[in-house]
Amino acid sequence: MTGEPIKNATEHLQSLVDGRAVYLDGQLVDDVTRHIAFCQSVHTAAGLYDFQADPANADLMTFESPTSGRRVNRAWQMPTTYEELVTRRRALVSWAEQHAGFMGRSPDHVASAITGQLMGLDLFEDYDKDRAKAYWDYYVYARDNDLYLTYVIINPQVDRSKSTIELENNNPMMKIVDEDSEGVTVRGAKMLGTSAVMANEVFVAHLQPLRPDEVDYAISFAVPMNIPGLKVLSRKSYEKHAVSEFDNPLASRYDENDALMYF
């Protein structure tokens, strides 16, 4: 069993100072934990980890990972009993109460999506056992490190009257451009990247239906936010323009931000 402590705000904030390429108004942001456009919202999110690490809340908010022994957030828990299901729900409600529900992409969001999917692991195995194992291994990795994940699952809109193939060179959508023994190379843009500036990694998938000839767009993967070649293009920051906490109580603290991600 590991003696590693429960993830807290300090650990999360330190993990965000990793050289990620976040751009706002065309300018590279050096440190999202200190920048006027992001810092308050980033610290609000980090505060959720202090809440779970508080000894008074640890039993409710966390469970022991079956592989690492570290206590991690219950968003990663796969309930096997009614009691575990109720406790998990109580934990997520307690987190939501910390921000009154104004953080739509809090750390439990994508974690719950992945955890829920993999409770049906056999469905993935029926399709491809190797890919199912890769997905499961990523879940274990993300769970044991209690990662904050964002996701990009839709494409930027260009011309709805045309297919991706018909757009040809005017298509900014992310797709596979090369594949060799070392892996897959992708290039292009995905959306919507809510909370990307404060997340550890991004889970990339494809929500919209694809045609058989659009196979180059059919790819799912996850990468760290600071991976070379990834640019995070932030929308206008409401936090930056918030006059005060009194005048702008939501924008000053809960502007998770959205971002287009370009690979």
pLDDT in tens, 235-249: 999 999 998 889 999
- CA dist 104 and 118 (Å) reads 22
* Phi and psi based region of residue 106 (left: phi greater than 0; alpha: psi -120 to 50; beta: remaining): beta
Q: How far is CA 257 from CA 7, 196, 238, in A?
A: 23, 8, 8
Crossing angle (nearest 10°) for helices 108-118 and 129-144: 140
For residue 158, name the pLDDT band (cuts at 50, 70, 90).
confident
Task: Note whether 19 and 33 are within 8 A (CB).
Answer: no
pTM (2 d.p.): 0.91
Predicted confidence at residue 2, as pLDDT, reads 58
**Confidence tier at 35 by pLDDT (50, 70, 90):** very high
Model pLDDT, residue 85: 98
Is residue 3 over pLDDT 80? no
What mean pLDDT is predicted for residues 112-118? 97
Q: Quick one: average pLDDT of 77-87?
A: 98
For residue 260, pLDDT over 60 is answered with yes
93: pLDDT confidence band, cut at 50, 70 and 90?
very high
* Span of 65-69, 166-170, 222-226, 249-253 with lowest mean pLDDT: 166-170
pLDDT at 117 over 90: yes
Query: CA angle, corner 259, sides to 29 and 202, nearest 5?
Result: 95
Tell me, what's the pLDDT at 190?
96
Q: Please work out, in degrees rounded to the nearest 5, the angle formed at the alpha carbon of residue 200 by the alpha carbons of 242 and 206.
A: 95
Terminal-residue alpha carbon distance, the chain: 38
| Mean pLDDT, rounded, of the chain | 93
CA-to-CA distance for 153 and 176, rounded, in angstroms? 15
Q: Tell me the average pLDDT across 86-99.
A: 97
Most confident of 23-32, 173-182, 234-243: 23-32
pLDDT of residue 1: 47
Instruction: Dump pLDDT digits (tens) for 128-148.
Output: 999 999 999 999 999 999 999
What's the CATH code, domain 21-262? 2.40.110.10
